[in-house]
Chain A
């Protein structure tokens, strides 16, 4: 299997993530889209590590590190979303603009 296939998959994931982030109005769905983007990056790290520097492990380590960070970030994000939901009874991103003023 060549590197291109992996890259195509990760590209699709990235684009899907961006599309989802821009188009979905539900904050949870947006969060999932962000996860997609991050995962696409993770895949790239792992793939390039494997094909370019097979004797080294930095890419894999970085992927694992990123997964850990993403988990923490998701936890915080979900906590914020829950709190927002409690306050405004909505997850629609366009309606959450009270903090602006």
Chain B
């Protein structure tokens, strides 16, 4: 079955935030932001801006009736700056005007008096100054310190991975309406409606029941709208409360890029020890996470880096320590993978480092150390239903890894200025919110008297197809056609206290809740059928909208049954709650059972580098992936393809550039490049591994959102392989993304870099045009 939404998407009929018909009297908001990355806010003068045509009101921190605080994990983030500014783009005030043009035009007339303070953009420098968001965390298994002596080979190094702009094509936004009870109703483009509700209530000084948040769908999220949709929702809500008029706030692209946080850049140290059989004996890593100016989700992202510090490998002695470092960048935040990719990049760098120094292929080390059933991960959860070796071996056999390697070698021998590279990237990703309490969800299911069904959950549809999966779960559980099921908008008044749509767990959590609600309804209806048809309840089913007794039509249909239930005054609504069983984790000892299950897979990546120009193409990414029993192969394949290409983008083109003053230079789509049609791999094969799935996965269909992003890491190492084919002695630092610039500079490390170093046949005068000469 296909994703249900696209039939509307392709006709342009799906409604996103900016498509909502504008209510009469709406004010348009524009955000006044800090022009410096760190400073003391001495004065804020809005008088001139208030005189601009169309300007109705300018809101500052002083106008906040409740608390000026939107920090989720740590209360360290004001909605509007007071006293100090901590990053460039930090909201300072909100202009409300009769039109978007008027609001934007007034921005330059707001005068900010800021005394600059020193700016830190480097996480290691921040750590050295003690600027940590939370105390450092260490995950420990065995005793790495004692293990080095027993290692045949020990290697150390540094690995750095860059940030990543989410680049959801729909920018952040919210549309708030005052309600008659003194609260607000907010339509928000958020992955976390409850976060918007909770923080807006706090800012407005009202109960959460006075703030309704509604989400129909997002034009992409990827983690960027998990916590960072909140400021815009709260600002719009504040504007609506203060003016008693609807307020619409939609960020333009460059404002969105300037003001919102991104994937965390990391700088990390690693040390790896192997025995003579290439078994990894010990691993130590120290991660310096660039958290930006406030906590946001950084502590949780940091934790997941540690959870995935050893990727798919069993290592008996591990010490992994992580520092969340406060810098003067916008607060960095969730992004597909949530710190996991950053952790995996480091262990893969360590393995590549060892392999290169030992003169081996990295896969020699990777394959020998894959997780097996019952192996302990560094947080002491054993693997259960481990498919690491199955994924690797299936990919290697199906795609003929030895032949691929041979082809690369032969090609490289035959070509001087073009080289190919190959890398294998196995993954293991834990599914659940690592904050155990968040692994709960509710579903509200109504059956209407005509037999149609409305399902409300906490899941937010952002392209991942969760609504289609919810509809499938409801339809399959009730035994009816999916066309009878409508998945409603995500609304805090229908389903309360939701976890954000994140951690790949949305379909599992909300799907399980939907399944429970539908089962309860089904049981209720079948008990009625048993009474009415004078049949045994056991053995009754609904299939294809027919009531069956022991598999045979029992003379009733879905519609009849529903109608009868109404007239018998039997409830046709059900609200169910699901909490993932068995989970626990102790954040003091860093041990426990945090994940419902793990997802496995392996990608083989081949690239081709133009060694004259330093440009490259990803020729093929061939994946074997553990979906379990996929509920929707079309949607799941799309998640793998899209995730892999997003990961390739992170590892290749997507380069965030901040200057020393904390100003984002890659601040628009013309200077920050995500993959286009031609930068996607020419071949992208996805093989569905034959795996049983997991009972904690919805209908044994495993979570699929985040894991594929990490296949992209293989592209980095394949490029490295190709560069080394041209330049075996290249002293390549482990530094992602591998932009064409890095490729070329590594291909020609000895190239002269200053004009004086170039030998010249004649002295020249610099001439620009003949007009001058």
The answer to whether A binds B is no
